[in-house]
Amino acid sequence: MPNSIDVDDLRRRLLGAGYVADAGLATALACAVTLERAVLLEGDAGVGKTDAARALASVFGAQLLRLQCYEGLDLAAAAYDWNYGKQLLAIRAAEGSHEHTPDLYADEFLIRRPLLAALGASRPRGIVLLIDEIDRADDEFEAFLLEFLADFAISIPERGTVAAAHPPIVVLTSNRTRDLHDALKRRCFYHWIGHPSVEREIEILRLHLPAVTPELASDVARASAALRERELRKAPGISESIDWAQTLQLLGAERLGAEVFEPSLGSVLKYPEDIATALASASSIIASAGGDVV
Amino acid sequence: MTISDEAALAAGFDRALRGRGVVAGTRRARTFAEVLLVLPARTASELYWRARAAMLPSIDDLDAFHAAFLEVFGSLGDADALQRLVRTVDAPRREPRDLPKRESLPPPPSDRPADERAAERAPTQWILASSDHRLTDKAFEDFDETERAAMLRLIARVRVAAEYRASRRRRAQAHGDRFDFRGTLRGASRTAGELLRRRASARRERLRPIVFLLDVSGSMEPFARALLQYARVTAVARPAVRAFAFATTLTDLTPLLKRAGDDSLMSAIATSVRDYGGGTRIGAALRAFNNGFAQRGAARGGTVVILSDGWERDDPALVGTELLRLRRLARRIVWVNPHKRHAAYEPLARGMAAALPYLDAFLSGHSLRTLEAVADAIEGRIA
């Protein structure tokens, strides 16, 4: 097993890669990397689950392989497939020149999809495999992942088992549209990413948008926090508040005032009912935003 | 600390979690021990986060996790400091789902003396044999205690609703609609590269989800019990079934559906629903379901069965708004209102009147026979 990762050190390096992680997330990631086990990140949409994997890849200088899940995702799309056209041509060519039938399952005919490619790291921690929105995949795919996550190996009937010399760092994310099987969760470290505190959100906004003034970042973070307290269909995540701050900056605003509140609302709330709710209490949201800069 | 210390600590913590109804399991405990070994915790806070990453099965279990953490590690160090730590951690903003606690369930039926169980069963079977036909059309609220036990068993004979849709997943089928390159070529390798047999695949089928939303307030109670039993039977027979109870707030009963091993558990489910027997806020419950579940995909492509008499305590307009929304999220909405069995019934309850334009089926579902009609309506076959 490669050397262990210090939690605080990882946190600092994630920050260097542009990702603000709290102690819990940093611990879960450090445990997963050190023990070579997958980590499952759950949380509402837009709280930075996918970005955590990106930042992790950049910290270790690793290649990021992303697998977006959907219903019906099968081995041919997730793990490997054979290049049938090439196989057929090889058969025809062998017929024409009266040679032996070639090995149809040689490397040249194999198409490596993300899961198989993730087993091919040339050094420890050389690949980060992001299995995104696993809750969208179906039970069959989850069941297949059990074998993959336990052994970091894939059995190809025509070839035998392919095992990883250096296991990839595996990050699974879920929006929790359904509960995952416990068999899968047991094989992973688990962390729930909640909405950030105001201070952390300001830090994130400033990190992502260096051009945004501290005042505006503080206003947006506070206003987002105020929005989350209201009963909305979809409370804004961090990615929405980043969009919001960027929109306000494009509108030339230096603070979040009444004149830019309504025009920019479409960047942070995506339901007409939610926008109506926010407009109804616009003045109190703007007032809670306009506090002193932290 | 030696290896066995860490293992003992992890095992002890697993035990404490189990005592609070959270089953983390040996695999997680082993992982936790390994974590402590490679990444030793120097402070209480480090220990807390290591424990949480390795041992917490779901954010819903956080309260039990905190209690177990204090119990196990409180004795090791400064208990007050740990208490403060648990209180100050960056807790998730989203409220954990409001689930009935597992420890509130009675012990499994096998723990009770055998003669007690036999005594309970004997008269039931007698009724079942002699009066099936009499019970078929009887309204659930008119059943007495002994008949009710028989009724719960008879519900198990009601047809399980199952509607399928084409899945994105495929399976081998000789006359399927898509040519299977891989299978054909694999077959060819057995016949010296000669493509003798055409292989093809067809789409598999998947069950459409069913969601039961049951009004458990006052007069609806006997009907909610019956429909909940039907939900249970359905959930055991097939996947993708969820059930919720509501009166003033919405409670997810899904985790209990399959765990219930005996009919007596029906009452446990009933008592564990906190607001059982209170007033009804249908619109608010529908909104909670839409926001928390339907919008995230719980009802997509499926049927939502709502049991309620439509007596809304708050603004009935909200019932209409939320049903309109639900209509866009679900495939079909079936409303079950037992009052509809009376010939003179008119939808006078304001919540009911607001709901009617958005329903695909409106049924009484008050007896075993009409429950069959509910099963038909779930599949879209409406008499």
What is the structure's pLDDT at B382? 73
**Tens digits of residue pLDDT in A26-62:** 999 999 999 999 999 998 888 999 999 999 999 999 9
What is the structure's pLDDT at B127? 37
Structure tokens at B178: 């898509």
The closest of A79, A81, A89 to A116, measured between CA atoms, is A79
In chain A, domain spans: 7-74+113-192, 198-289
The mean pLDDT value of chain A amounts to: 90
Select the residue of A34, A179, A194 nearest B90 (Cβ to Cβ).
A194
CB atoms B90 and A24 under 8 Å: yes
Residues of B in contact with A141 (CB under 8 A): none
How does pLDDT run along chain B (383 residues), one tens digit per residue? 455 788 888 999 999 999 888 888 888 999 999 998 888 888 888 889 999 999 998 888 888 899 899 888 876 666 676 777 776 665 544 444 444 444 433 444 444 444 444 444 433 333 334 455 667 888 888 888 788 778 878 888 888 899 999 888 888 888 888 998 888 888 887 787 778 888 999 999 999 999 999 988 777 888 988 898 899 889 988 989 999 988 877 888 887 787 655 554 555 556 555 555 556 889 999 999 998 899 888 888 999 999 999 888 888 899 999 999 999 999 999 999 999 998 888 888 888 999 999 999 999 999 888 999 999 999 988 75
CA angle at B59 for the pair A29 and A207, rounded to the nearest 5° = 45
Q: Which of A25, A27, A70, A177 would best serve as a mutation to test chain B binding (most B beta carbons within 10 A)?
A: A27
Q: Alpha carbon of A225 to those of A44, A49, A198: distances in Å?
A: 15, 19, 7
Given a cut of 60, whether residue A7 has pLDDT beyond it is: yes
- Dihedral of alpha carbons B150, B155, B156, B158, sign: positive
CA angle at B256 for the pair B252 and B257, rounded to the nearest 5° = 95
Mean pLDDT over A241-269 rounds to: 92
Select the residue of A5, A177, A187 nearest B296 (Cβ to Cβ).
A177
What is the structure's pLDDT at A294? 44
- Domains of chain B in sequence order: 3-88 (no CATH), 164-207 (no CATH), 210-378 (3.40.50.410)
Q: How far is B143 from chain A (nearest CA, A)?
A: 37
Q: Classify domain A7-74+113-192 by CATH number.
A: 3.40.50.300
What is the structure's pLDDT at A40? 96
The closest of B89, B83, B1 to B42, measured between CA atoms, is B1
What is the structure's pLDDT at B114? 44
What is the structure's pLDDT at B261? 54
Residues of B in contact with A27 (CB under 8 A): 46, 49-50, 52-53
b vs e for B181-191, b when ≥16 Cβ sit within 10 Å of the residue's Cβ?
A: beebbbbbbee
What is the structure's pLDDT at B270? 60
Residues of B in contact with A22 (CB under 8 A): 90
Mean pLDDT over A139-158 rounds to: 90
Q: How far is A194 from chain B (nearest CA, A)?
A: 4
Given a cut of 50, whether residue A9 has pLDDT beyond it is: yes
Residues of B in contact with A94 (CB under 8 A): 193
Residue A154, helix vs strand vs coil: strand
In this predicted complex, what is the ipTM?
0.74
Q: How far is B109 from chain A (nearest CA, A)?
A: 25
CB count in 10 Å sphere of residue B125: 12
CB atoms A194 and B94 under 8 Å: yes
Given a cut of 70, whether residue A2 has pLDDT beyond it is: no
Question: How many A/B residue pairs have CB atoms within 8 Å?
Answer: 122
Amino acid identity, position A127: I
CB atoms B90 and A22 under 8 Å: yes
CB atoms A87 and B185 under 8 Å: yes
Residues of B in contact with A138 (CB under 8 A): 167, 169, 206
As to burial, measured by CB atoms within 10 angstroms (0-12 exposed, 13-18 middle, 19+ buried), residue B138 is middle
**Tens digits of residue pLDDT in A71-124:** 889 888 999 999 988 988 888 888 888 777 778 889 999 999 999 999 999 999
